[in-house]
Amino acid sequence: MPSGRPDHADDHPELLDAEDVGEEVPVNDEEGDVAMDSDTEELIIQNDSIAFFDGHADSVFAIAQHPVHPSLIATGGSEGDADDAPGKGYVLDTSAAPDRPVLPASYSGAGPTQSTELDALFAIEGHTDSINALTFTLPRGDFLVSTGLDGRLRAYTVTLPAAAQSPSQPAAATISFLAEAQEVPEINWVAPCPSPEYPNTVALGASDNSVWVYTIDPAADPENPLQVVNTYWLHMGACTAGAWTPDGSLLATVAEDSSLYVWDVWGLGAARGVVESNGQTVVSLTAEDQRFAIEGGLYSIAIDPLGSLVAVGGADGNIRIVSLPRLSAAASTAAGGKSAARGAKSGGKAASSSQQVSAGGQILASLKTQSESIETLSFVSPTGGQPNQSTTLLAAGSVDGSIVVYDATRSFAVRRNIAGAHEDHSVVQVEFVPGTWLLTSCGMDGVVRRWDLRGGAVRQNPAAVAAAAGGAVPAPTLADAGLVKEWKGHRGDGEGGGVLGFVQGSTGERVVTAGDDGVVLIFDA
């Protein structure tokens, strides 16, 4: 917390004590990718990919995956390393990448398996600066949206033939430019709305502090298919991250001024009487509340699978957990159509089932286990997300190279602290394989790793196992932390390399990466 504030115990949320922390695994990864001979300086590079695309002229900053056909991948970056380099992206079909054999090639006498080079289906052009965010719209991926540091939002129609019924066979997809909007200086992120009631809707956050929501609907207005649904201007700093609730009823955003706003985009909060006096939000928290103040700002956000909690991460390893309002009655009211929600927004009365509605905005936890900025957050309910049947986990990745996993069902106690998950390089992204205990991560060390957070006897207490066997205590390793697989192929160590993002679909069977070295790699899990 910043110094110079009044120290009132009642004004601060309870912090975790050291004894509340679960296992901490300070890993000692002795393996490396570089073997250096003093005479020849031979560089040995490991490449675990089954396919690659190297059409980018510079770093790949953004990657997105089609929601119905996961082999359709969009990537985006820039044409070069100049400050004014134009943005460029591609759409790929990764179904051409063959699966690796179950047994090593040596078992059948064949030579080493080669990585397959992929061609682009479509080039994403028209940006005058780097493409830094991409998404396919929900629920069916009818449109692809690219956004960039030039402030442009460009939408493309994605057409799939009627015969493409298999998600693994979209090779005949046709991509065509639809429309463009440019209302802000720079766009930082874009996120698709998951609500089936409001298809093909996206939200974005900009450097001028604003938040925009667009619906893409060429049928309604062929001359102006990008329709502005709402624009919000309450943040006092650049909007850095945003996320929709799983049902798409609310949009939460954070900014560099350490503010969190949860927007009532569709009027469902107003319908239930939980909208705030500004008429736009159901939750508002800023640095004026000393319990919420994070000097240095907020940069990451995630919402749990039940839509009841939002986690925000920022500078110096700070995380805040905030409750969200329950709008179940409003959601069912709106299920009859958009007009119900819009009518409520303009002054409709709350339904009789108001007892199902509860206000949000309570700060439930203030966490600080890691030492540097929290760059990425991810929630999961491994057993399927039923309220009384599952554990809910929160994973946090930090610039200090660590990953911490909290148990959201046990007052956010630390379940696992992987102090060297990506050595001393920044963790760029953590993401759970939906509905499982498997967590995938990537970092600036150029490695993608997968962790099984269920643990086991050796992982949970290697010292006890060694003592029981009468041996010496082994040094902790990545395997002790739950590492079950890792993929290498990108340059790392911060030297023009690292992995800037990945997608893994709903099953995690294939991982596709965006490399700071300008290469896209496809790994078979």
Question: pLDDT of 108-137, one tens digit each?
Answer: 444 446 789 999 999 999 999 999 999 999
pLDDT at residue 81 is higher than 90: no
What percent of the chain is predicted at pLDDT more than 70? 75
pLDDT value of position 22: 59
Close Cβ partners of 254 (under 8 Å, ≥ 6 residues apart):
239, 240, 241, 242, 260, 298, 299, 300, 301, 312, 314
CB contact at 8 A, 270 and 330: no
Pairing label, strands 143-148, 239-244: unpaired
Whether pLDDT at 353 is above 50:
no
Stronger pLDDT, 418 or 41, i.e. the higher one: 418
Q: What is the pLDDT of residue 452?
A: 95
Confidence of residue 34 (pLDDT cuts 50, 70, 90): very low
pLDDT, one tens digit per residue, over 217-264 is 999 999 999 999 999 999 999 999 999 999 999 999 999 999 999 999
CA nearest 150: which of 179, 123, 187? 187
Give the other-Cβ count within 10 Å of 96's Cβ: 14
Window from 46-50, 107-111, 204-208 with minimum mean pLDDT: 107-111
Mean pLDDT of the chain, nearest integer: 84
172 has a pLDDT exceeding 60: yes
**Domain hosting residue 386, numbered range:** 20-68+129-135+183-524
Domain assignment present for residue 153? The answer is no
Q: What is the pLDDT of residue 90?
A: 98
Q: Which residues pair with 202 in a beta bridge?
A: 192, 214
Of 252 and 15, more confident: 252
Q: Please report the pLDDT score of residue 83 as a whole number.
A: 73
Angle at 297 between CA 294 and CA 303, to 5 degrees: 90
In a domain, residue 102? The reply is no
- Does some domain include residue 73? no
Q: Which tops the pLDDT comparison, 304 or 45?
A: 304
Lowest mean pLDDT among 81-85, 409-413, 497-501: 81-85
The encoded tokens of residue 173 equal 């997809």
Q: Phi and psi (nearest 5°) for 205?
A: -120, 145
Instruction: Name which residue leads in pLDDT, 418 or 104.
Output: 418
User: Pick from 156, 260, 163: which is nearest to 205 by CA?
Assistant: 260
State yes or no: pLDDT of 23 exceeds 50.
yes
Q: What pLDDT shows up at residue 510?
A: 96
pLDDT tops 90 at residue 198: yes
Residue 476 is assigned to a structural domain of this protein: yes
Q: Is residue 6 part of a domain?
A: no
Cβ proximity of 264 and 270 under 8 Å:
yes
Confidence of residue 384 (pLDDT cuts 50, 70, 90): low
Confidence category of residue 472, pLDDT binned at 50, 70, 90: low
Q: What is the CATH number for 357?
A: 2.130.10.10
Instruction: Give the pLDDT of residue 80.
Output: 77
Is 169 a domain residue?
Answer: no
For 441-469, what is each residue's pLDDT tens digit?
Answer: 999 999 999 999 986 434 445 555 555 55
Sequence-ordered list of residues with C-beta below 8 angstroms from that of 37, at least 6 positions apart, any chain:
none
Residue 101 lies in a domain: no
Nearest residue to 445 via CA among 415, 469, 424: 424
**What pTM was estimated for this model as a whole?**
0.84
pLDDT of residue 98: 80
Give the residue with greater pLDDT, 166 vs 243. Answer: 243
Domain count, the chain: 1
Give the count of beta carbons closer than 10 Å to the beta carbon of residue 8: 8
| Rounded average pLDDT over 262-283 | 95
Residue 235 is predicted with a pLDDT of 98
- Name the most confidently modeled range: 245-259, 406-420, 490-504: 245-259
The pLDDT of residue 333: 40
Any residues with CB less than 8 A from the CB of 154 and at least 6 apart, and which? 124, 126, 127, 145, 146, 147, 177, 179, 180
Any domain includes 117: no
- pLDDT value of position 497: 81
Strand bridging mode 116-117 / 281-285: unpaired
